[in-house]
Every structure is written in structure tokens, then in C-alpha cells.
């Protein structure tokens, strides 16, 4: 009996919310994608006309676009060794310097030790390209870098 009473109350609550929704006014009604596109286009139109800023002849044009000059950078990378650790950070020796796994070099290249089927070092150049090197190998990395003016 209690379950039937709860079910009846639930139906009354749901029924009252349905009548509220069906009694509301629908302001925008469309039936085709073309009508929807027309409504969206009209919705975002602005009735006010904004004045365009005028540049006087005396003032220099400050809207110049500055292009970033880039130069080709070539780096020779030699991996002379790696240490793999279960309790501490992995280490790699590149060009005579020691780097921890995940560090960046002075040239902003990210170092990552990969432990797949073989252990190798992934070097990510500043342009986002990945280069893979095994211990004892030397590679040359070429990328574009921004020139400071």
C-alpha cells in the first residue's frame, strides 16, 4: 500500500511539471536547417554602427605587424651513456653534461628516456619534432628558432 501511495505521489509531481512545460510560450520555432541558419544570422547582427577609428596623417601607423625572424639552428647531440633507476631519477649524459629524465637542455630541448623494447633517449626539439638516440650514437638536429631583435 505504501509503494502504491509513493507511486501515485510521483505521478502527480511529474504530471504537474509536464503541464507547466506544455503551458509555456515557445518564442522560436523552426522546422528546417535553413530557417535555423537564418535565425542565427539575424541574432548576431548588431543594429548600432560603431565608428571606425581614423588615423591622422601626423601620427605614425601603430598597427604594423611585426614578423618574427627565424634562423636555422643545427645542433650535434652525442649520448654517451644512461643510468636507469628504480628508486631515483633516470640520468643521461649528452655532450658531456648530465640531465635528469624530463629536463630541458640550455637550447630548450626536452630530454625523455624511453623504456620500450629497447632503451633510448627521445629529444624533443623546440619546434616539436622528436628525435630518438641510443647510447653511444651521435645525431644532428636541425630546427628553426626565433631570433631576438
Please give the residue that has the higher pLDDT: either 115 or 61. Answer: 115
Instruction: For residue 143, give the C-alpha cell.
Output: 630546427
CATH topology of domain 74-146: SH3 type barrels. (2.30.30)
- Ordered by start, the domain boundaries in the chain are 74-146
Mean pLDDT of 30-53: 71
Q: How far apart are CA 139 and CA 134, in angstroms?
A: 10
pLDDT of 137 higher than 70: yes
Predicted pLDDT at 31: 67
pLDDT of 130 higher than 70: yes
pLDDT band of residue 51 (cuts 50, 70, 90) is: low
What rounded mean pLDDT belongs to the chain?
78
> Is residue 139 within 8 Å of residue 77, measured between CB atoms?
yes
Percent of the chain with pLDDT over 70: 70
Number of helices followed by number of strands (H, E) in the chain: 2, 7
Predicted pLDDT at 26: 56
Amino acid at each position: 500500500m505504501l509503494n502504491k501511495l509513493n507511486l501515485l505521489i510521483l505521478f502527480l509531481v511529474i504530471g504537474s511539471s509536464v503541464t507547466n512545460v506544455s503551458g509555456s510560450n515557445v518564442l522560436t520555432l523552426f522546422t528546417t536547417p535553413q530557417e535555423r541558419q537564418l535565425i542565427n544570422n539575424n541574432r548576431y547582427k548588431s543594429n548600432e554602427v560603431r565608428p571606425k577609428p581614423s588615423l591622422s596623417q601626423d601620427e605614425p601607423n601603430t598597427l604594423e605587424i611585426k614578423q618574427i625572424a627565424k634562423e636555422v639552428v643545427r645542433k650535434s647531440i652525442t649520448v654517451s651513456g644512461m643510468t636507469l633507476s628504480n628508486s631515483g631519477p633516470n640520468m643521461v649524459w649528452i655532450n658531456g653534461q648530465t640531465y635528469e629524465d624530463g629536463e630541458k637542455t640550455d637550447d630548450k630541448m626536452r630530454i625523455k628516456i624511453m623504456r620500450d623494447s629497447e632503451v633510448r633517449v627521445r629529444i624533443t626539439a623546440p619546434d616539436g619534432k622528436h628525435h630518438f638516440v641510443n647510447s653511444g650514437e651521435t645525431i644532428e638536429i636541425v630546427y628553426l628558432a626565433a631570433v631576438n631583435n
